[in-house]
Amino acid sequence: QKEVEQNSGPLSVPEGAIASLNCTYSDRGSQSFFWYRQYSGKSPELIMSIYSNGDKEDGRFTAQLNKASQYVSLLIRDSQPSDSATYLCAVYGNNRLAFGKGNQVVVIP
């Protein structure tokens, strides 16, 4: 089982809709969870971090963490064309940060 798994993509959503991204992880001892956004040809940019179970909201982004089920999700509300990017889930455990392969999101105007 891979350490961090993300749904296969790409995910196409109409402008103004909600984009939902999921990530599962294998290490039950994982402690910190991050979502990065990466535009094509650019570097990853941190958009959310979450450390405890529940929801964390920041603007149009909501991160959800469920340690019992070992998943973390990202919701993007009111999706905009500028949200079109690859979203990377990252999980810290065993003294290292492991990244998923990413989910491409395409927002259709």
Partner 1 sequence: NAGVTQTPKFQVLKTGQSMTLQCAQDMNHNSMYWYRQDPGMGLRLIYYSASEGTTDKGEVPNGYNVSRLNKREFSLRLESAAPSQTSVYFCASSEAGTGYKPQHFGDGTRLSIL
**What are the residues binding partner 1 (CB under 8 A)?**
31-32, 34, 42-46, 49, 51, 88, 92-93, 95-97, 99-102
Least distance (Å) from partner 1 to the CB of residue 109? Answer: 27
In the complex, least distance from residue 2 CB atom to partner 1, rounded to whole angstroms: 9
Which tokens sit at 74? 């990202």
Q: Is 67 exposed, middle or buried (0-12, 13-18, 19+ CB in 10 A)?
A: middle
Choose between 84 and 93: whose C-beta lies nearer to partner 1.
93
Nearest distance, CB of residue 49 and partner 1, angstroms? 5
75 touches 61 (CB < 8 A): yes
